[in-house]
Amino acid sequence: MVNPGAIIQLVNVSKSFGDVRVLSGVDIEIKTGETTVIIGPSGCGKSVLLKHMVGLLRPDSGDVYFRGEKISNLSERRLSPARQEMGFLFQGSALFDSMTVEENICFPLMEHDRGDAADRKRRAREVLQLVGLDNLQDRFPVELSGGQKKRVALARAIVMHPRVILYDEPTTGLDPIRADLINELINRLRNVLGNTAVVVTHDMASARKVGDRILMLHEGNFILDTTPDELDDVSDEIVTRFINGYASPEELAELDNGQFAIAEKF
C-alpha cells in the first residue's frame, strides 16, 4: 500500500543482473526530514537500491514512489521533475575532469536551464561556502584531494535545492578525519537545508553519527530496522558480526582452505 507520508517508497522491489538476484521484494519507506542509513557488506545491493530511488535503475518487479507518485515506469522526460528534487552524491564523486570546480557545480543548473550565467556563478559560490571550499572554484579536479573532491561533488548535489540527498558511500577512500568532516557536512546540510537524506555505507562510525534510522541489507532484503541508540542491543549474529567487524567461522574456513592451502606448496 502506498504511504502518502513517505517521500520515497519502494514496494516489493526485485532486481537481478543475469542469474544474480540482488534485491528480493524489498519494501522501504523514507520519512521526510530524516536521515536513513542503509548498511551492509560490499556487493549486497546497497548502491543498486539507491539507484532505484532516483530512477537510474528500473526494478524487474515492484514499484518506486516519490512523493506518492509512481516513478518506476516513467520515461526519462517524465522522470526529470522528480530527479530535479533529488541530489545524488556518487561514490567516486563523478566530477568532470575537463571542467573547473565552478563549472562542475554549475553543470546541473545549465542542464536544466536554471538562471543566467551570473545567477549560476553566484549559486556555485554559495554552495561552495556551505561545504567550506569557497576559494577553490577555479581549480580542476586533478588539483583536489580526495576529501575536497567529495565536498565539490556534494556542492553540486545540493546546487538545485533538492528535497532529498542520496549519498552513495560518502566516506569511502577517506582517512578518519576527512570522513568525519563529511559526516559533519551531512548533518549540517540537513540542519541548514531541511532536506531528507538516504546514506548508503559500510562505515559504522558514519552510520552512527548521521543516522536517525539504520537498516541493514542482507541477501536481497532487510534484516534490521533500528536507531543508532538501539544498535548495540541487537542480538542477530549476522548484524553483530557486521557492526563489530569480524568474520564468521565459515568465512575464515574458506580462507584457510583457499589461499593458505595453496601457499603451503611454496
pLDDT tens column, 59-106: 999 999 999 999 999 999 999 999 999 999 988 888 999 999 999 999
- Per-residue pLDDT at 259: 59
Which domain-ending residue is among 159, 179, 198?
159
Nine-digit cell at 144? 583536489
Same domain, 169 and 59: yes
User: 47 and 118, same structural domain?
Assistant: no
Mean pLDDT, rounded, for 163-189: 91
Q: Is residue 242 part of a domain?
A: no
Nearest partner of 45 among 66, 62, 21, 67, judged by Cα = 21
Residue 77 shares a structural domain with residue 190: yes
Domain span at residue 105?
98-159
Claim to verify: residue 155 and residue 166 sit in the same structural domain: no
Share of residues in the chain with pLDDT > 70 (%):
95
Looking at the structure, tell me whether residues 139 and 29 fall in a common domain: no
pLDDT band at 264 (very low <50, low <70, confident <90, very high): low
Question: Into how many domains does the chain fold?
Answer: 2
Based on the fold, state whether residues 21 and 10 are members of the same structural domain.
Answer: yes
Kindly state whether residue 124 falls inside one of the protein's structural domains. Answer: yes
- What CATH number did the domain enclosing 73 receive? 3.40.50.300
Q: Same structural domain for residues 177 and 76?
A: yes
Closest to 38 in 3D by CA, of 216, 245, 242 = 216
Residues 112 and 125 grouped into a single domain: yes
How many Å apart are CA 138 and CA 142, to the nearest integer? Answer: 12
Q: What's the whole-model pTM score?
A: 0.89
Mean pLDDT of 1-11: 86
Last residue of a domain, one of 138, 159, 180: 159
Nearest to 11 by CA among 65, 48, 83: 65
Count Cβ atoms below 10 Å from residue 65 Cβ, excluding itself: 22
Whether residue 92 is contained in a domain is answered as: no
Q: Where are the alpha helices (DSSP H) in 62-144?
A: 76-83, 101-111, 117-130
Q: Are residues 116 and 69 in the same domain?
A: no
Whether residue 106 sits in one domain with residue 230: no
- Of 118, 120, 102, nearest to 110 by C-alpha is 120
Q: What is the pLDDT of residue 32?
A: 93
Distances (CA, A) of 60 to 1, 12, 92, 223: 19, 10, 26, 22
Report yes or no on 132 lying in a domain.
yes
pLDDT at 122: 92
Specify if 129 maps to a domain. yes
pLDDT of 159: 92
Closest CA to 201 of 160, 229, 173: 173
**What value does the mean pLDDT of the chain take?**
89
Q: Are 206 and 183 in contact (CB under 8 A)?
A: yes
Band of residue 38 on the pLDDT scale cut at 50, 70, 90? very high
Domain membership flag for residue 263: no
Do residue 112 and residue 52 come from a single domain?
A: no
Q: Is residue 230 part of a domain?
A: yes
pLDDT band of 262, cuts 50, 70, 90: low
Do 118 and 15 lie in a common domain? Answer: no
**Residue 156 contacts residue 108 (beta carbons within 8 Å):** yes
Domain annotation covers residue 239: no
